[in-house]
Structure 1
């Protein structure tokens, strides 16, 4: 019988304790790989939230704050941009297109964004993917509204439904613009970005709902906003980005800030990387705990197995064979635990996928293990193998000292 076959039968004979060690390692590996998978996909999703936009412009504050409220709909602007400034900047010859953004209202906890149809024409995400309509069309009338995929799904809205916008950002508001309901004209396809959680109206519609309800007709001037929250810009040439950014940052009309989305995303991810590293460290500690559990199981069983080792010696096994047997047992437990942990990770992520999409708008893609994940699996196996050296050495010493007899 080969040493590997003997190690397998030895583990099978002690399958109760071996199974507990195996499950401990598997669960810890599943946690480690799950955290790594979510981390890498969250980072990828984070970076792909906006693509093809050269500059984001808002009131002067911090780059991270501007990025959060303009792209991720988190937080509020310190100030608005006047409409005159918006027009002057967008009329610059270096500006190819512009997307105005007006924030401040909400609908049942979802942010309302006032904009123009240039948003549907020029906003891109992931690898320059354009927005696509699952149903309906873009904004044509003052009270048209386009819903993100999550808003339509969770609130069960369909084309032609009427919705009432509320002042402020709370899920429940006592100041509703119920005299001016919007009509759902379109529903966007899922993007896995904050667009899925947005209620998109026209700038004219935002202005109209804030006018006196007694007034039936509005002039074009009344429906022209006096200010907006931010704007996204595309330039005629990539070579013009930095010169336009400097021009906006030095704008004399008011204090403005122009940021490069990619640079701001990297800064924001750098802030979040502390929590990311802490979570990864906790996962590694859990894996070490699982391997220590295996080590403890092997060490505790040594005294009970001294008679077994003596019998092996009697049939010709040498001390080095006993040493190899314990090492192979540790290796088998590590390999099987790593593989079972990998399978468990996929099962857990598959079960969590609908919840992550519905609750957080995070679209999880189940892919083959990455090179980084394979390295982690290999590291677990190697550390488990090394952990088996101590009980193997003890067994080797017992084998030498006991010889053909066993001390009871």
Structure 2
């Protein structure tokens, strides 16, 4: 007697019940695996994007917005801060490393970041080809930017004002590509990195051009007033400690790494209380963000568990109806020498076939869903994300499915264990 063949025929005996059981179970498995993979991938992406950044200093405003704009580069900045104030903060002995960044332009939606040579070190980024930017108007591309735009070493392009892909006017200055970073699956992959001087020069040239056009429409009194303002501005470029600072040099924010825990506890509070700048702690702000998004993750997870229970009830009903509807055939098999264990195996094989097929379909559905979600993220936020799904998570989900199927099988085989062969064969009630 081939139990596998009998189980396979029983598998197709009630196709509607079998289809419903597979459908509900595969949906629950897809939701469980998909939400776990999304949650882990997002958390790892955000944690990796932090690099060695302990604090972000920028203009007053929302701390979360400052972190999202300066660390994850998915929001608008809260404003600019004077570079002179940032340099004084950089000399603080409690600060191990401070990396200034400045931006306000883009190329086809990818942000152009003016910074120092320490910025790539925050993400352990290495050059795939070319060299680092050494002069003004030289840029290094993240790998995502290079693949999406088709730019290569030696190409030139014009940046657009603002952070939106469309709507901003193009600057006249040409930026030259001198290097491309290796893939890191971090935020630097979707950035165009250059020196601070590039950002300042581009906007200085823009201001000079606008000022030149404005002068053609100004009268003599306005020109005299403008000259007086320039004189006053030049007088104000000397700081209190006697060191000259270039007027108009501003940055978007300062990315800071501390030497010890004491600095983490004292420096941010000092900045927020005694300066016009704002200090935000990325790990703290992102943890708050996790708490908001975690509610949705838990809700979807509980919905998936509910569907899993419903699917297992459906499997149980399907197996139980199969046993009751084919009671005469099963009793006849018992009368010809089939053991109770063989009958139990037949039901168990059918239950596990449903589980295996549903698990395979659920895996495919979850991966297709994750693929389209990641494609949407890449299209909207210009960010490639590494898929994060550990084998133990798949094993844990598979273990829950097996447990539920075993419980369903145990309930379904009850009529077999208590079978009265003589009554069934004689059609007695």
Q: Work out the CA distance in 1 between the residues paired with 2:192 and 2:263.
A: 33
For the pair 1:202 / 2:222, whether they are aligned, the reply is no
SS of residue matched to 1:403:
helix
For the pair 1:145 / 2:109, whether they are aligned, the reply is no
Q: State the partner residue of 1:98.
A: 98
Give the alignment of 1:311-326 within 5 angstroms. Answer: 311-315=332-336, 324-325=344-345
Distance change in 2, residues 1:222/1:401 (3 Å): farther
Q: Work out the CA distance in 1 between the residues paired with 2:246 and 2:117.
A: 16
Aligned 8 A contact 2:31 2:300 in 1: no
CA RMSD of the aligned region, Å?
3.5
Distance change in 2, residues 1:71/1:137 (3 Å): same
Q: Work out the CA distance in 1 between the residues paired with 2:350 and 2:273.
A: 66
- Give, in angstroms, the shift of residue 382 of structure 1: 0.9
- Give, in angstroms, the shift of residue 248 of structure 1: 1.8
Q: State the partner residue of 1:39.
A: 39
Aligned 8 A contact 2:7 2:350 in 1: no
When structure 1 is superposed on structure 2, of 391-400 and 40-49 the one drifting more is: 391-400
Give the alignment of 1:296-375 within 5 angstroms. Answer: 296-315=317-336, 324-325=344-345, 328-329=348-349, 331-333=351-353, 336-337=356-357, 340=360, 344=364, 348=368, 355=375, 359=379, 361-365=383-387, 369-370=391-392, 372-375=393-396
Aligned 8 A contact 2:26 2:358 in 1: yes
Q: State the partner residue of 2:160.
A: 166
- Give, in angstroms, the shift of residue 97 of structure 1: 2.2
Aligned 8 A contact 1:55 1:245 in 2: yes
Structure number with greater CO (CA < 8 Å, separation at least 6) is 2
Deviations 1:348-395 (A, max 9, x none): 59977995896463333476612x332221111111221234433355
Q: Work out the CA distance in 2 between the residues paired with 1:380 and 1:297.
A: 16
For the pair shown, which has the larger CA radius of gyration, 1 or 2? 2
When structure 1 is superposed on structure 2, of 359-368 and 61-70 the one drifting more is: 359-368
- Give, in angstroms, the shift of residue 236 of structure 1: 3.6
- Give, in angstroms, the shift of residue 230 of structure 1: 0.9
Aligned 8 A contact 2:65 2:78 in 1: no
For the pair 1:250 / 2:273, whether they are aligned, the reply is yes
- TM-score normalised to structure 2 length: 0.78
- Give, in angstroms, the shift of residue 399 of structure 1: 4.4
Q: Work out the CA distance in 2 between the residues paired with 1:197 and 1:68.
A: 15
2:9 to 10, 13, 31: 13
Aligned 8 A contact 1:114 1:202 in 2: yes
Distance change in 2, residues 1:224/1:114 (3 Å): farther
2:181 to 179, 184, 188: 188
- Give, in angstroms, the shift of residue 19 of structure 1: 6.8
For the pair 1:75 / 2:43, whether they are aligned, the reply is no
Deviations 1:139-197 (A, max 9, x none): 211111111111110111101111111112222234111x1011111111111122111
Aligned 8 A contact 2:50 2:282 in 1: yes
The gaps in structure 1 that reach 5 residues or longer are: 125-129
Distance change in 2, residues 1:141/1:88 (3 Å): same
Q: Work out the CA distance in 2 between the residues paired with 1:9 and 1:406.
A: 27
For the pair 1:260 / 2:311, whether they are aligned, the reply is no
Deviations 1:186-243 (A, max 9, x none): 1111111221111222222112222346969xxxx99875321111112344443322
The gaps in structure 2 that reach 5 residues or longer are: 210-243
Q: State the partner residue of 2:397.
A: 376
Q: State the partner residue of 2:221.
A: none
Deviations 1:291-331 (A, max 9, x none): 3442343244344312212203423567x658835752465
Aligned 8 A contact 2:34 2:369 in 1: yes
When structure 1 is superposed on structure 2, of 349-358 and 228-237 the one drifting more is: 349-358
SS of residue matched to 1:164:
strand
